[in-house]
Structure 1
Amino acid sequence: MTEQLHSLSQSSLQDYYDCPRRFELRYIQHLAYPAVESEPALENEKHQQEGEYFHRLVQQHLIGIPAEQVGKLANTDNLQRWWENYVNAKDLTGLTDLSGLYAEVTLSAPLGKFRLVAKYDLIAIGDNKATIYDWKTYRKRPKNEFLHIRWQTRVYRALLVQAGAHLNGGKPFTPEQIEMVYWFADFPTEPARFVYKADQYKRDWDALIKIADEIASASDFPKTDDVSKCSYCPYRSYCDRGIRAGDAADAELETATEELFDINFEQIGEIAF
């Protein structure tokens, strides 16, 4: 069944880890979403759209468009607040002065029978260091412990070691050169920072190989035993796991996915098979 599945991402891995059945329905059967993920639905949809638009505003600024010009496009209360927080954030001061800024860059590397793919909001390179920035528009500031064990944190750092050499003059980054920063648009003074070490990288990559092999050989995709996750799952009606959606602020932590994108492996950084 998984023969048609060619790539894995942090989102698909998180789905498989949280609930193999959700992974099967979303990535193998490609079923349409029969239920809303959270309530109130329209408000949450608007928030998600604003979050995507905020990412576009930051990208425009990072490629050289003046902040004053980009800021004129922040045309909702949320966007105006997030943009002002971004422009005034001390942690981001001087970011655009670095010579090595790679916004919205995609990296790829072989992983078992699949390719592991990740799209980064920003990789900033300078002072013999690579910092991964990920912009979050969460309504709640998640705990660092929650973020540390998420597949996004593990995938993004490990994949940069595996496939980031072309961003570093052809020399692979060592784990110790990498840091990942989650920057929260509504909590601009509380970024979450995760440095990396060689033993963490080995543990992460071994875990990625193991889960990829497990997915490749899987013949059954059971439902999760943790029914609390079903409140935020758009496929819960398939499993008779409830009708009412969960609260939007909690749901976005459980269901956040990277932007959907078409994969063109000729245009993204990768390592050879």
Structure 2
Amino acid sequence: MLLSADFQFSQAALQAFMDCPRRFYWRYVRRVRWPAPQAQPLVEHEERLQRGWLFHRLVQQHVLGVPEELLARAVQADELLARWWENYLSAHPAQVAGQRYPELVLSASLADWRVMAKYDLVVVTPEKRWLIFDWKTAQRRTSRRKLLARLQTRVYRYLLARAGACLAGGVTPPPAQLEMVYWFANHPADPEHFPYDATQFAADEEYLSNLIMEVCAGQDAADFPLTTQERHCRYCSYRSLCDRGKEAGDVDEMDEVPLAESLDDFDLDLEQIAEIEF
């Protein structure tokens, strides 16, 4: 077993393995830290990362009840951030009655490992609907097909159905009561909704279990081959280690600007993670 016993699988880690097993190996097995920039121009890429983080922080504070006039001061110096903020306030993407849980982290056991997820916002309505909201700040709107194929959509819905009982007095959320909503700061009137059901829950459990077992079966670097889809290499920090080029891809062509790639990036106290043991 190459992974440490306390390793927790995030959607980002699983997506890394799906995109390129060798990328997973460098990042999570060898724990090599960013030998090259993900995208260029580097300064602009870093600005987008910072802006995306600030937007998520603003929404979190707004959900927690910080007055809008105070939060407005934080966006005055950044025209694009101010536009996102105005789009958010105008669209009210999460304007639904219910108990709100911003920046919620859940964890559960699957295939003898821990799986965890950090949610931008979970709302439990009085009618016991469970709504997952995820804020996207990329310039391009990700297509429904791509969102459905990404591990985030699988992991977030599945894990809430597994571990969400801690939010409702021990009552497990029925999968059919769950829905995930992607809201795009640059396309505020065009969110994407993904309902859930028991059939998809069972399929996700089998799929994720098999994927985790496949990852854990690897014994050395040869078991984590390079991707055959070299388009992934353009925005991979490890491309030079794999002789897949030295120049980073154009930041304007990125589908999504990631905010965090693993539990390490979340900088969390593990005691803050709400978990259900199975």
Task: State whether structure 2 residue 251 is matched by structure 1 residue 248.
Answer: yes
The residue that corresponds to 1:77 in the other structure is 79
Greater mean deviation of Cα atoms: 137-146 or 2-11: 2-11
**Helix, strand or coil for the counterpart of 1:164?**
helix
| Inter-CA distance 254–90: structure 2 relative to 1 (3 Å threshold) | closer
The residue that corresponds to 2:100 in the other structure is 101
For residues 45 and 254 of structure 1, the distance between their equivalents in structure 2, rounded to whole angstroms, comes to 10
Q: Structure 2 matches for 1:48-63, cutoff 5 A?
A: 48-63=49-64
Cα deviation code 1:23-68 (max 9, x no counterpart): 0100111112121111211101101100001100001110011112
The residue that corresponds to 1:154 in the other structure is 154
CA displacement at 1:217 relative to structure 2? 1.5
Greater mean deviation of Cα atoms: 245-254 or 128-137: 245-254
- Does the aligned pair in 2 maintain the 1:2–1:215 contact within 8 Å? no
* RMSD (Å) for aligned C-alpha atoms: 1.6
The residue that corresponds to 1:266 in the other structure is 271
Length, aligned pairs only: 270
- Does the aligned pair in 2 maintain the 1:113–1:213 contact within 8 Å? no
Task: State whether structure 2 residue 29 is matched by structure 1 residue 28.
Answer: yes
For residues 166 and 256 of structure 1, the distance between their equivalents in structure 2, rounded to whole angstroms, comes to 26
TM-score in terms of structure 2 length: 0.92
Greater mean deviation of Cα atoms: 158-167 or 214-223: 214-223
Cα deviation code 1:162-186 (max 9, x no counterpart): 0000112211111110000111111
Q: Unaligned regions of 5+ residues in structure 2, if any? A: none
Q: Unaligned regions of 5+ residues in structure 1, if any? A: none
The residue that corresponds to 1:229 in the other structure is 232
Cα deviation code 1:78-102 (max 9, x no counterpart): 110010000000543x34xx34000
AA in 1 matched with 2:145: E
CA displacement at 1:72 relative to structure 2? 1.4
Cα deviation code 1:224-261 (max 9, x no counterpart): 11111111111000111112211213335386645722
| Inter-CA distance 240–255: structure 2 relative to 1 (3 Å threshold) | farther
- Does the aligned pair in 2 maintain the 1:40–1:248 contact within 8 Å? yes
For residues 18 and 191 of structure 2, the distance between their equivalents in structure 1, rounded to whole angstroms, comes to 26
* Structure 1 runs of 4+ with >6 Å offset: none
Cα deviation code 1:179-199 (max 9, x no counterpart): 001111111001111001111
The residue that corresponds to 2:19 in the other structure is 18
TM-score in terms of structure 1 length: 0.94
- Does the aligned pair in 1 maintain the 2:135–2:182 contact within 8 Å? yes
AA in 2 matched with 1:76: D
The residue that corresponds to 1:238 in the other structure is 241
Task: State whether structure 2 residue 29 is matched by structure 1 residue 4.
Answer: no
- Does the aligned pair in 1 maintain the 2:120–2:133 contact within 8 Å? yes
Sequence identity (%):
43
**Helix, strand or coil for the counterpart of 2:156?**
helix
For residues 255 and 48 of structure 1, the distance between their equivalents in structure 2, rounded to whole angstroms, comes to 7
**Helix, strand or coil for the counterpart of 1:153?**
helix
